[in-house]
Amino acid sequence: MTLDQIQTLCRIIESGSLKQAADSLHKTQPALSMSLKKLEDEFGFQILTRENYRLTLTEAGRSFYHKAQELLQSSAQLSSLGKHLGEGNEATVKLGYDAICPLSIVLDLLKRCQEQYPNTEIELIGGSRFSALDLLKKQEIDLAISPWWPTLYALGDLETLPLSHFKIALVATPNMFSTPSCVNIQELKKQVHISFEESDLRFDSHDLILLKGCRQWRTKDAYTLKGMLTEGLGWGHIPEFMVEEELNNGSLVKINTSDIETEITGEIRIVKRQETTLGPVATMIWNTFK
């Protein structure tokens, strides 16, 4: 069995006649008949009959035809992928982002990638607390979307482009503290501080935000953190965009205290390694923001 035989069979079936199939393939009718007969002889069953002077699929032929269609589709996809890779395009682009960054920043761009480069797979890797920068430093991703401060250039030769801004709020359930608008250090220490686990970067540790002497629970997942906070398991910092609804309906409230930062703001940037040459698709992503 050859791919040409499968293409011929499908054309015969879709055309409904040997003559039309032969004309579209620029072949003779005897050549198409011979191709069909070889397929039937190879597998030992009849694919088409000529009942009522029309080409009709047998029951076995119908099953064979459906699989033949799948094979041709896979062949077309393989051919397209080969051309795509032959032009120097990446098979996969890995994009890391921190939970602190609204995913809406990149969703429109990813749609454009899908339309312009349908054969490149986009691997979107979410994380928290500098995880995207950590992956970039380990050369496990092509681009990182991350909170950014100028001191982070100390991580290496990095190039960045500004995308947006972030805001982190200190929140808890309304009944956790008697006066959420004015909480003192002793009240904070009576409750659990819930936070993201730190990354593997040297500068990142629980000492960045943790109140000394306070019990702490940690999680890697932003939505787990949100669930723990809304269930009243403790207080903690969370990207404000993630809890807008809860802040509006009163199931969470902002905490004000003079003992730790109650609101943290900063830039969101897309980051790449200077020494790495990006492929066409990753370059398109970078240049779009540029």
Residue with tokens 């970078």: 286
Contact 176, 191 (CB under 8 A): yes
E runs forming strands in 17-102: 48-49, 56-57, 92-98
pLDDT > 70 in the chain, percent: 90
Distance (Å, whole) CA 168 – CA 165: 10
pLDDT average, residue stretch 85-99: 79
Contact 275, 157 (CB under 8 A): yes
pTM of the model: 0.64
Per CATH, domain 92-164+268-289 is 3.40.190.10? yes
pLDDT in tens, 20-73: 888 888 888 888 888 888 888 888 888 888 776 678 888 888 888 888 888 888
Q: Which of 98, 167, 101 is nearest to 127 (CA)?
A: 98
Contact 192, 236 (CB under 8 A): no
92-164+268-289 and 166-265: identical CATH topology? yes
Q: Structural domain boundaries of the chain? A: 3-86, 92-164+268-289, 166-265
Distance (Å, whole) CA 110 – CA 254: 34
Phi, psi of 193 (to 5 degrees): -90, 120
Per CATH, domain 166-265 is 3.40.190.290? yes
What's the CATH fold of domain 3-86? Arc Repressor Mutant, subunit A (1.10.10)
As a whole number, the mean pLDDT across the chain is: 85
